[in-house]
Amino acid sequence: MRVAIVGSGPAGLTIAVILARYGYQVTIFEGKDKIGGVLRYGIPDFRLPKTVLDDFEDRHLIRKGIRVRPNTTIGSAIGIDDLFRDGYRAIFIGTGVWQPRALHIKGETLGHVHFAINYLNNPDSFRLGERVIVIGAGNAAMDVARTALRKGVRQLTCFSRTPEVAASQHEFSYATLEGVNFEYCKAPVEITDEGVIFVDVREDENGEFIEAPGTEKLYPADSVIVSISQGPRNRIVSTTKGIDTDRRGLLVTDEEGHTTRPGVFASGDVVLGAKTVVQAVAYSKRVAEAMHSYMQGIPAQGRAAGPDGAQR
């Protein structure tokens, strides 16, 4: 039986390999030119060399007969309904979270302002200058900061709204050792051509951040990178009936990855939000087994015949 994998990030690759081992005919649809998803386009090369992914593609996809359609976005020329029409018995959605979260403050559209996920996609295409401000202090912000320093930035400061960084202690310690500076309890109020205006904030007993009037200060920067998480793009949902999302736009699934449309499964960041690669892979192993059980429950007359005429 045919299986469609939409997205070749950690979740999609995990499920593709498991189902190929079971004997399914697997096709991966990838919107970019190479496989890997966040592994290739969101994790810096110094943390994960791209040669690892190239080797994985050769040993685990090509040699196992898994087909890959690069530069193919599901929800554009091809939709979920088209996949079912062409005999795919189950479809997995692992499209990740590639929509940057915006600050929605004045100056965010200026030419020296960028989003973290866009910068990590191809750092060499950006001209940041010598002084850079990163708004945010999560793990992605650490990747941005460490990458920018390697690309020639002389002074880089990450600004955190909280008294501590949101990144793991491991990532924070490496960033500190490599020369990243940090400012805490600061909230951006405006981005200008000269830099970013921040105001001091404190957190009250209800978890709300209270600005301190009169503490506004301009911090100079040649470029500004916004790194406050990402959300999912809704191209598939907007072109497909029967797939529900939550208030954040993430796909609604049960514990085994079933979406609200029969035959469509999902896992990874598009379900969980931006999590670690390990979490995405662990969850996806359960989803692969659920997809296998689902397809084995399809009556024989509903299965596509293979090249030898046998039912698949």
Q: Mean pLDDT in runs of 10 for the chain (312 residues)?
A: 96 96 97 94 92 95 95 94 97 91 96 96 96 96 97 97 94 97 97 98 87 96 94 84 90 95 94 83 94 90 44 42
C-alpha of 103 from chain center: 19
Angle subtended by helix axes 277-296 and 10-21, to nearest 10: 40
First-to-last alpha carbon distance for the chain, in angstroms, is 5
Q: State the Cα torsion 75-28-139-269 to the nearest 10°.
A: 60
| pLDDT at 123 (0 to 100) | 96
Determine the pLDDT at residue 147. Answer: 97
Backbone φ and ψ of 167, nearest 5°: -70, 160
- Say what the pTM is: 0.87
Burial grade of 9 (CB within 10 A; 0-12, 13-18, 19 or more): buried
Q: What pLDDT score does 238 carry?
A: 86
Tell me how far apart the alpha carbons of residues 269 and 190 are, in angstroms, rounded to a whole number. Answer: 30
pLDDT at res. 69: 97
Cβ atoms of residues 145 and 167 within 8 Å: no
pLDDT value of residue 257: 95
Which long-range CB contacts under 8 A does 303-309 form with residues at least 24 apart? 303/1, 303/89, 304/1, 304/2, 304/87, 304/89, 306/25
**Inter-residue contact 231 to 58 (CB < 8 Å):** no
Give the chain's count of helices (H) and strands (E): 10, 16
CB 256 within 8 A of CB 288: no
